Amino acid sequence: MNRPIPPLVGARFGDDWWQRGVIYQVYPRSFADSDGDGVGDLGGIIDHLDHLGPDGLGIDAIWLSPIYPSPGLDLGYDVADHERVDPLLGSEEDFDRLVAEAHRRGIRVVVDLVMNHTSDAHRWFESSRAGRDGPHADWYLWRDPSGSGPDGRPLPPNNWGSIFGGPGWEWEPRRLQFYFHTFMAEQPELDWRTPAVEDAQLRMVRGWLARGVDGFRLDVFNVFLKHPDLPSNPTRAGATAWDRQLHLYDRDQPDFPALIGRFRAVLDEEPGRMSVGELFDGTIETAAGLTTDRHLVFEWSLIEATWTASDIRSVIGVRESAFGAGRWPTAVLSNHDRPRHASRLAASIGAGDPDAISRAAAVLLLTVRGTPFLYYGEELGMSDVDIPSEESVDPPFSRFSPEFHLWDRSRCRTPMPWSPGPGAGFTTGRPWLRLGPDAETRNVDAQLADPTSVLSTYRALIALRAATPALQVGSLHAHPDGGGEVVAYTREIPGQVILVLLNLGRRDATWRLSAVAGESGWRPLVRTAKATAADEAIAIGATLILAPDEGLILEAVRPEA
Ligand code: GLC
């Protein structure tokens, strides 16, 4: 099917949007429901593009968590057909309309590709498990047993496990072989060493590019390749079965950069396309090493930091030294797998007003060097929601807890509250997952009316970033004095210096403004503890007082020539 690619209208940034822009993650089931079945859908996203676009939040691209047909055991990350849209979320036409409507507003579209595994309901796997002769026989990681146990039962080929808990090998009586799964048994691992698998994946990628998508998020990409001989991993001490192994052979293989390079080359055939790989369970150095121009890699140092000056300062330093000047980092505080940061950061210090922390964290996210990725609802300061266990919709958690080393991810995937009233403007039906208890007051309409809200702060910060090249691409310099409880850094390009101050202490902090490069003063641009920062320029030598969890962004004022 060859459809014309809808033109992109009014985009703020050109081919470097992946670097200068802000990317917003939509979890489709929870964003907005357009047909009243209680589940968010593509129509709902289209209806709310103005919340995201130039007249709203002002983001530059949306990343859609998986939209493909799926049995839903891993909520869409168990894909039954990578080339189609899940009818639960809409039709093929709805997807094309979404791309066209997003492009009409200058918003790029990034889709989530789950290429490490499929659902066991995928036709490739159904054919592969049926016997050793079919066209897909070697498309998955099949191996003979290593022997048989005292009871005669076949023994798995090696000691690899599943991160969700339990063994990584599943017996298939029809083939008399095991298949491997890093995730659930219903998510069998593809064998990327079979050339036909790579061909099929790249064909699928070209299909989405032809439909106008601008980029891809690659699920658990550093796991695609395993050691060809599948040796057992060495063991070590650890809290879960997964942590009790050194994952030498089931991820991060030396020929992976070449494989991902072939995928990237397909995107590089046209300007303006990008990808972001999800680093699965690895180090920041691995993430930086896999980063190339236009092809970003998530790493988790910010998402794992506590809300203390020492931790944030050290994470900024680690990021800067791992990525250096030549590689471009990402910045992430929340996603669909982790506790929302409005809950997590206050909990990490056992104190603080979550809304003040959300506003200050937004300053960090949108001013640190790297492409910011927002998770839907964080612009409202949404927090995790207590979900009774019988309502949990996270099978890996329900099945494998406590061996599953994550948590009940339903808590961070609850519906977006748009307005007061039943269904919170998310649905006219019964929401698939309960709304947060504060949806009546914490919603888009209420926060739009309040200039001090988390949403108003995000809008101001994103607008500032879009107008400030130093915040997009400038180098980052930590303040030489350290700063006590105040995290301080500058972002600089020739002719523009921006100073960022964040008081992460529990008391008011003072900050004496000094000159970095011959300024005559500093002009406040955004101040999170006040509705506006419409202050006069502040002279060098003046002392500022910052409230706890206050963020302040200032621009250097040059002396009159
Ligand atoms: C990624 C996804 C997560 C999913 C897993 C398996 O980590 O972010 O939600 O469960 O991959 O596909």
Q: pLDDT tens across 541-558, in order?
A: 999 999 999 999 999 998
Edge to edge, what strands does the sheet with 23-26 contain? 295-298, 274-278, 215-218, 108-113, 61-64, 23-26, 371-375, 330-332
**pLDDT (tens digit per residue) in 258-285:** 999 999 999 999 999 999 999 998 899 9
Catalytic residue among 74, 78, 112, 219: 219
Lowest-pLDDT range, 97-106, 212-221, 319-328, 517-526?
517-526
Say how many Å lie between the CA of residue 76 and the centre of ligand 1.
Answer: 9
> Which of the four pLDDT bands, split at 50, 70 and 90, describes residue 49?
very high
When pLDDT is averaged across residues 312-337 and rounded to a whole number, the result is 97
For the chain, percent of residues with pLDDT exceeding 70: 97
pLDDT at 401: 66
Contact yes or no for 39/33 (Cβ under 8 A): yes
What integer pLDDT is reported at residue 75 of this predicted model? Answer: 94
Low-confidence winner among 119-123, 241-245, 499-503 (lowest mean pLDDT): 241-245
Residue nearest to atom 12 of ligand 1 (CA): 77
Burial 426-447, CB ≥16 within 10 A → b, else e: bbeeebbbbbbeebeebbbebb
The pLDDT of residue 482 is 77
- Is the pLDDT at 1 greater than 70? The verdict is no
DSSP string across 272-329: T-EEEEE--S--HHHHHHT-BTTEEEE--TTTT--SSHHHHHHHHHHHHHHHTTTS--
Cβ partners under 8 Å of residue 164, min gap 6:
183, 184, 396, 399, 400, 403, 404
CA pair distance 425, 445, nearest whole angstrom: 10
pLDDT tens digits for 379-393? 999 999 999 989 999
Q: Give the per-residue pLDDT at 84.
A: 98
Task: State both tokens at 226.
Answer: 């395993």
For residue 21, give the nearest of 261, 214, 290 by alpha carbon.
Answer: 214
**pLDDT at residue 535, as a whole number:** 66
**What was the pLDDT predicted at 514?**
87
Check pLDDT > 60 for residue 66.
yes
Can you count the helices (H) and strands (E) in the chain?
Answer: 15, 21
Instruction: Please name the residues in contact with 553: beta carbons below 8 A apart, sequence gap of 6 or more.
Output: 363, 367, 461, 464, 498, 499, 500, 501, 524, 525, 526, 527, 533
pLDDT at 476 over 90: yes
Region 344-370 average pLDDT: 97
* Calpha distance 406→498 (Å, rounded): 38
Spatial contact of 67 and 27, defined as CB atoms under 8 Å apart:
no
Q: Is 219 a catalytic residue?
A: yes
Residue to mutate (ligand 1; options 82, 219, 405, 411; most atoms within 8 A of CB): 219
Distance CA 525, CA 545 (A): 16
Distance (Å, rounded) from C-alpha 316 to C-alpha 502?
13
Burial-class residue 392 by CB neighbours within 10 Å (0-12, 13-18, 19+). middle
pLDDT score of 480 more than 90 = no
Q: Look at residue 225 and tell me whether its pLDDT is greater than 70.
A: yes
Does the pLDDT of residue 533 top 60, yes or no? no
Question: Is 269 a residue of the active site?
Answer: yes
Ligand 1: lining residues by beta carbon, under 6 Å: 74, 77, 114, 183, 219-220, 278, 336-337
* Atom 4 of ligand 1, residue of closest alpha carbon: 77
- Give the ranges where 23-136 is alpha helix by DSSP (H): 42-47, 49-52, 92-104, 123-130
H-run or E-run covering 155: strand 154-155
How far away, in angstroms, is 193 Cα from ligand 1 center?
Answer: 22
Could you tell which of 63, 77, 411 is best to mutate to test the pocket of ligand 1, judged by most ligand atoms within 8 Å of the CB? 77
Ligand 1: atom nearest CA of 335 is 8
Residue 440: the pLDDT is 98
Q: How far apart are CA 187 and CA 185, in angstroms?
A: 5
pLDDT one-digit tens code per residue, 175-206: 999 999 999 999 999 999 999 999 999 999 99
Share of the chain above pLDDT 90, in %: 89
Give 123: exposed, middle or buried? Use CB within 10 Å, 0-12, 13-18, 19+. exposed
In this prediction, residue 427 has a pLDDT band, given cuts at 50, 70 and 90, of very high
**CA separation, residue 383 to residues 33, 56, 335, 336 (Å):** 20, 22, 12, 12
- Interval between CA 77 and ligand 1 midpoint (Å): 6
Q: How far is CA 235 from CA 149, 160, 400, 414, in A?
A: 21, 10, 21, 38
Looking at ligand 1, which atom is closest to the CA of residue 117? 12
Confidence of residue 516 (pLDDT cuts 50, 70, 90): confident
Distance from residue 561's CA to the centre of ligand 1 (Å): 55
Q: Which residue of the set 133, 151, 229, 269 is catalytic?
A: 269
**What's the 192 CA to ligand 1 centre distance in angstroms?**
18
Q: Are strands 274-278 and 295-298 parallel, antiparallel or unpaired?
A: parallel
**Weakest mean pLDDT among 128-132, 165-169, 378-382, 428-432:** 165-169
The whole-number pLDDT of residue 405 equals 64
- Is the pLDDT score of 532 beyond 80? no
> For ligand 1, atom 7, which residue shows the shortest CA distance?
220
The pLDDT confidence band at residue 4, using thresholds 50, 70 and 90, is low
Q: How confident is the model at residue 534 (pLDDT cuts 50, 70, 90)?
A: low
Ligand 1, residue 280: give the atom nearest the CA.
7
Euclidean distance between CA atoms 191 and 81, whole angstroms:
17
**pLDDT higher than threshold 70 for residue 50:** yes
pLDDT digits (tens, 9 = 90+) for 429-471: 999 999 999 999 999 999 999 999 999 999 999 999 999 999 9
Ligand 1 atom index nearest CA of 74: 10
Residue 561 has what pLDDT? Answer: 54
Nearest-atom number in ligand 1 for the CA of 183 is 6
Element spanning 488, H or E:
strand 486-493
Record the tokens describing residue 356, joined without a space. 């003040």
How far apart are the CA of 379 and the centre of ligand 1, in A? 23
pLDDT mean across residues, the chain: 95
pLDDT at position 154: 98
